[in-house]
Amino acid sequence: MTKTIATQPFDDQKPGTSGLRKKVPVFQQPHYVENFVQSIFDALEGFEGETLVLGGDGRYYNREVIQKVIAMAAANGFGRLIVGQEGILSTPAASHIIRKYKAFGGIILSASHNPGGPQGDFGIKYNVGNGGPAPEKVTDAIYQRSKAITRYKIADIAAVDIDTVATLDVAGMTVDVIDPVADYAQMMEGLFDFDAIRKLFKSGFRMRFDAMHAVTGPYAKEIFEHRLGAPDHTARNYHPLPDFGGHHPDPNLVNAKPLYDEMMGPDAPDFGAASDGDGDRNLIIGRGIFITPSDSLAMLAANAHLAPGYSDGLKGIARSMPTSGAADRVAEKLGIGMYETPTGWKFFGNLLDAGMVTICGEESAGTGSNHVREKDGLWAVLLWLNILAVRGESVKEIARKHWEIYGRNYYTRHDYEEVDATRANRMIEELRAKLPSLAGTTVRGMKIERADDFSYHDPVDGSVSEHQGIRIFFEGGARLVLRLSGTGTSGATVRLYVERYEVATGRHDLETQAALADLIAAADDIAGIRAHTGRDRPSVIT
Ligand code: VG1
Ligand code: CO
């Protein structure tokens, strides 16, 4: 039986960089989840009898929301729902399942790299039929609907057993509870040379993968240890936990410090990697060398043809605007297109669908390709492994040679987290007002060429997205970018991105922060970050 329940809008259900993210207690308010899910359904058209994919990263409150969505999907008229066993699907696996089973769309429950637990974060994201995050016109429609909602529909049913792989009938809707790993692992076998990687492990190659007690654990165990023959304990922290073991599942150099320390230590394995809460990010560390995500994108693009899935070469590369220009040099050399998009994976979808690009990446440890429509942490790790197996060189050798060919983009990101939102907004507004007067001025001996607020014109559908980040370009190719995060849940996070290019014949062995010190100081001179935030240093440096 379907119930129609009267309700009232919440005023804070505006999706951010990737979906709606709030603290768990916010989601636990009566009707909060239901209102947002009904707003998603109300914003869509033509899903009667169609398939919906559902899964999450296993964080606290995942199971409760899974049950609500099942009951609401049935009441709203979906014909079939595919849900990962125990409510689990990594973000890239969900994207793949949507595509493979030609679903109408999918609901992914995750706050990605944000902490979990009863006082941690939760999130709900809608993905469209191409497997990718809903584009802005859909997220805007969802938000508008959330402000006007007066009722939601839900089937009056007992909790559905999601712990056993089975096909069930739930209030007239078919529910398929599936193994969350199998389809994904099979796709990876099709893209990469598993024989070559198996040989690599057989030869004694050692790898460490930190799943950070988040969703990639079961995927990593199955793929690296069972299918590729890596030794037991290659995957660490592989048990997904609702609170991620109390840790922060963001694989940056602060949260993944144990892995970093091991990789820099005397008995370091050959290769280290980590992923985030929902499995779409990757951190890559070779023995004695951290590879920035921007460099990783460039190096993967330059070597992708060594993997069977990319042996025909790449059609083009896309990167988010704050990501370094390292990949641009690869695209130039390959003679393929290069596209610069705003932050967030949703902007890559059109380019991928149109066949204009094959590989995409973001400086925030996101890399992916046209195999799905999300960034994909394990995919990036497997592509690295495939390249290492074929080239027979260390990560360090590959990086050094890359810089000798293309030059090096020294790059860092400084995050000021949980800053007072009013002060952060004021900082950006003041900076924006100053932009027209910056060109031609000199800061710390460096001349500013131009400065703007990035706006993106989608070459496929013509849509325009404005205010996507302040850019300040210096003579000689150095660049500063400042923007506010759209994924945080308390206060504001200021992100400062700093980049300087060193030619192929230049010095590539400088320490990154030292190499960028003048630019970092210039950023504070120009934007007054310390004065505005009241902080004397960033919370996280990557
Ligand atoms: C951050 C990153 C962005 C990424 C987004 C989602 O957004 O900067 O590159 O796409 O998180 O990643 P923001 O607005 O906080 O800078 V995840 O792993 O949530 O799916
Ligand atoms: Co993520």
Q: Which two tokens stand for residue 23?
A: 């603290």
Its pTM surpasses 0.85 = yes
The counts of H helices and E strands in the chain are 18, 27
Spacing, Cα 29 to ligand 1 middle (Å) = 26
3-state secondary structure of 170: strand
Which of 364, 465, 542 best tests ligand 1's pocket when mutated (most atoms within 8 Å of CB)?
Answer: 364
Which residues on adjacent β-strands are paired with residue 194? none
Contact 65, 283 (CB under 8 A): no
Beta strand pairing call for 408-419 and 492-502 = antiparallel
**Domain end position, chosen among 179, 210, 237:** 179
What stretches of 102-179 adopt beta strand conformation (E)? 105-109, 121-127, 151-155, 166-170, 173-178
The protein residue whose alpha carbon is closest to atom 1 in ligand 1 is 487
Boundary of a domain, candidates 372, 406, 440: 406
CATH classification at residue 533: 3.30.310.50
How far apart are the C-alpha atoms of 541 and 415, rounded to whole Å? 6
Q: Tell me how far the alpha carbon of residue 232 lies from the centroid of ligand 2, in angstroms.
A: 26
Residues 284, 384 contacting (CB under 8 angstroms)? yes
Q: How far is the CA of 520 from the centre of ligand 2 (A)?
A: 27
Nearest residue (by CA) to ligand 1, atom 16, is: 485
Same domain, 207 and 255: yes
535 vs 517: CA distance, rounded Å: 18
Ligand 1 geometric centre to CA of 68 (Å): 26
Instruction: Indicate the angle between helix axes 395-406 and 293-303, nearest 10 degrees.
Output: 80
Domain boundary pick from 123, 148, 179: 179
| pLDDT band (50, 70, 90) for residue 237 | very high
> Which atom, in ligand 1's list, is nearest to the CA of 362?
9
What is the domain count for the chain? 3
- Is residue 254 located within the same domain as residue 351? yes
Residue 300 and residue 413 in one domain: no
- Across 471-475, average pLDDT: 96
> Rounded to 10 degrees, what is the CA torsion of 306, 309, 311, 316?
-100
> Which residue has a Cα nearest atom 19 of ligand 1?
112
**What residue ranges line ligand 1, CB within 6 angstroms?**
17-18, 112-113, 276, 280-281, 320, 343-345, 362, 364, 366, 485-487, 495
In ligand 1, the atom with minimum distance to the C-alpha of 112 is 19
pLDDT tens-place string over residues 142-199: 999 999 999 999 999 999 999 999 999 999 999 999 999 999 999 999 999 999 999 9
What range defines the domain where residue 489 resides? 408-541
Measured CA to CA, the distance from residue 436 to residue 401 in angstroms comes to 40
Question: Letter for the amino acid at 474?
Answer: F
Does 200 share its domain with 129?
no
Of all protein residues, whose CA lies closest to atom 18 belonging to ligand 1?
112
* Tens digit of each residue's pLDDT (9 = 90 or more) over 366-419: 999 999 999 999 999 999 999 999 999 999 999 999 999 999 999 999 999 999
Do 417 and 363 share a domain, yes or no? no
Question: Which residue CA neighbors atom 5 of ligand 1 most closely?
Answer: 344
Domain CATH for 277: 3.40.120.10
Please count the CA atoms within 13 angstroms of the CA of 6 that sit on its side-chain side.
0
Which ligand neighbours the alpha carbon of 214 most closely?
2
| Ligand 1 atom with least separation from CA of 250 | 18
Q: Are strands 207-210 and 235-236 parallel, antiparallel or unpaired?
A: parallel
Instruction: Kindly report, residue by residue over 91-145, the tens digit of the pLDDT.
Output: 999 999 999 999 999 999 999 999 999 999 999 999 999 999 998 889 999 999 9
74 close to 170: Cβ distance less than 8 angstroms: yes
| Mean per-residue pLDDT of the chain | 95
Are 286 and 366 in a shared domain? yes
Q: Which ligand is closest to the CA of 278, given by its number?
A: 2
Nearest residue by C-alpha to atom 11 in ligand 1: 487
Given a contact cutoff of 8 angstroms between Cβ atoms, the answer to whether 230 and 224 are in contact is yes
Ligand at shortest distance from the CA of 415: 1
For 421-468, write each residue's pLDDT tens digit.
Answer: 999 999 999 999 999 999 999 999 999 999 999 999 999 999 999 999
23 forms beta bridges with 121
Give the pair of three-digit tokens for residue 125.
């994201």
Percent share of the chain, pLDDT over 90: 92
Quickly state the pLDDT bin for 488 (edges 50, 70, 90). Answer: confident
Instruction: State the Cα angle at 474 between 470 and 475, rounded to 5°.
Output: 155
| pLDDT given for residue 356 in this prediction | 97
Q: In 3D, which of 380, 439, 417 has the Cα closest to residue 494?
A: 417
513 and 495, same domain (yes or no): yes
Q: Which ligand has its closest atom nearest to the C-alpha of 212? A: 2
How far apart are the CA of 461 and the centre of ligand 1, in A? Answer: 23
**Same domain for 241 and 335?**
yes
Largest distance between two CA atoms of the chain: 72
Same domain, 258 and 336: yes
Which residues are part of the catalytic machinery?
Answer: 112
Average pLDDT over every residue of 499-521: 94
Q: Do 190 and 106 have their domain in common?
A: no
CA of 364 to the centre of ligand 1 (A): 7
**Closest by alpha carbon to 213, among 279, 260, 151?**
279
Q: Cα separations (Å) of 504 from 67, 329, 404, 408, 417? A: 55, 11, 5, 7, 35
Q: Please determine, for residue 490, whether its predicted confidence score (pLDDT) is greater than 90.
A: no
Please check whether residues 430 and 356 belong to one and the same domain: no
Report the percentage of the chain scoring pLDDT > 70.
100
Q: Which atom of ligand 1 is nearest to the CA of 365?
A: 9
30 and 169 assigned to the same domain = yes
